[in-house]
Amino acid sequence: MPGKYKIDTHCVVEYDDQVSTKPHILPIYATSSFEMEGMDEAAEIFKGKNPGHVYGRYGNPTIDTTAKKIADLEGFGLGISAYAFMTSSGMSAISVLVQSILKSGSVIITQEDLYGGTTELFKTVFSQFNITTSQIDLNNHELLEQLLKKDAIPKVVYIETPSNPVCTCIDIEKVVTLCKKYDVMTIVDNTFCTPMIQQPFGLGADFIIHSTTKYLNGHGNSIAGVIVGHKENYRASIGKFLKLIGATCNPFDAWLVYNGLKTLGLRMERHSLNAKTLADYLNSHPKINNVNYVGLPNHKGYEIAKKQMKMSGGMLSFEVKGGFLAAKKMMNALRLATYAPTLGDVNTLVLHPRTSSHLNVNPEICEKNGITEGLIRVSVGIENISDIIRDFSEALEKI
C-alpha cells in the first residue's frame, strides 16, 4: 500500500485488522458503520436476505454478543431459545418493548409499588399515545381477572418482582396462568434478581427487561438496558422499532456489561448473603419499625419468593422510627455506604425514595404501599458484612 497514494491520503486509508490470533476478551467494535464488498452484498444485507452488520444503530458485534449472552442466561436450562436487544437504558428497554407490542387504546395492567420512573413513564408519556395504565394488587387474582376479561382491547401485564423499593413479591406463575387464559402478554422486570436468582421464562413469562446498569454490570460504570424475548413472531417488530427510535446501546457500555457478567454468579451469592445478615440485624433493632426483605420469614412475600427465587437477593428497605428527620440523620451519618440513585453495584448504596426515585409519585399511593417518609432503600454490597453492619449501627446511634 505505501506509495499507492499521496501521504495525506495515506493518513485516511483504513488498514486491515492485524489480529493474528483470537482475542481472549471480546473486543470493542468502536465503529459507526461496516464496510461491504459492493452494491450486491449491501442490497442483500439491507433486504434481510443475508446476515451482516451495516450500521451501528442496526447492530454491532460487541452489542450483539453481549445481548446473546444475556438471552442465553435467561433461557439457561429451560429448553428455550431466547433473543435479546440491548438498549440505551433500562427505561428505553421498557419504552421500546411496550410501544412495539401495544398500540393506541391499549392498557397496561401493573402494580402500584413500581419504581417511580416506570410509573411516570406509564402515566405521563404513554398516556399521550392513548395507552392507559391500571395499577392494582397483582396478587389479587380475582381483581386481576376482572381487568383481563374486561373489553376486547390489547393489554399487557407488567410485573416488577421484587418491587422497588418495598420488595413486594408477585406470584409470576399465577399471574401468567391468568394472562394466558385471556391471551394477554406478560413482561417481567428482572433487574433486582437477574437470571442467577429468578428465571421468569421458566414461569411462563413472555418478555423480560433489565436495567443492565444495575446487577448485570455490577460496577456502576455503564448505563444500558436489555429486552429479552422468546416468541419469534415479535422479534422482527421489536428490532425494527428499536432501530427506528434509535434507542440502541453503544459498544463501550455493552462491553462493560459483558465483562461484568463474568462475576455475576459470585456477586449475587455475596449480595444475597450480606443482605440477609443485614436484614436480620435491622429487623431486631429498636429504632426500626419494619424491614422489607424477601428472605425474612415475616415478610409478606416470603413464601412466593421461596417458590420462584433461588436466593433472596441484595435489595432491602427499612423504615426508621421518627420519619423523615430520623432517616435524614441516619443516612447523613453513614460512612461506608454511599448515597447514590442507583443499585446493584459492588459497594453498598442507600437511597431515600420519597425525595428521589418516588418524588413525583402520588404521596397517597406511596403511603398506601409502605413508601413512607422514613423509608430507606439499601442495595447491599459485597464488602465484609461486619463493616456494613458497623456502619449502619453507628449511623443509627445518631437518631
Residue 171: what are its φ and ψ, rounded to 5°?
-75, 95
Cα 362 to chain centroid, rounded: 23
Distance CA 107, CA 105 (A): 7
Q: Name the residue among 344, 61, 380, 357 with its Cα closest to residue 221.
A: 344
DSSP-assigned states of every residue in 322-368: THHHHHHHHHHH-SSSEE-S----SS-EEE-GGGTTTTTS-HHHHHH
Distance CA 165, CA 82 (A): 29
| DSSP-assigned beta bridge partners for residue 86 | 226
User: Burial letters for 242-268: b for 16+ Cβ neighbours within 10 Å, e otherwise?
Assistant: bbebebbbbbbbbbbbbbbbeebeebb
SS3 label, residue 315: strand
Contact 377, 263 (CB under 8 A): no
User: Burial letters for 225-234: b for 16+ Cβ neighbours within 10 Å, e otherwise?
Assistant: bbbbbbeeeb
Asked if residue 165 has a cis previous peptide bond (ω within 30° of 0), the answer is: yes
In the β-sheet with 132-136, what is the strand arrangement from edge to edge?
A: 83-87, 225-229, 207-211, 185-189, 155-160, 107-111, 132-136
Distances (CA, A) of 44 to 31, 37, 145: 21, 11, 47
Would you name the residues annotated as active-site residues?
57, 115, 189, 214
Contact 238, 206 (CB under 8 A): no
Calculate helix-pair angle for 385-396, 323-333, nearest 10 degrees: 130
User: Number of C-alpha atoms within 13 angstroms, CB side, residue 154?
Assistant: 11
Q: 238: Cβ–Cβ under 8 A, 6 or more apart, which residues?
A: 85, 96, 97, 100, 101, 227, 229
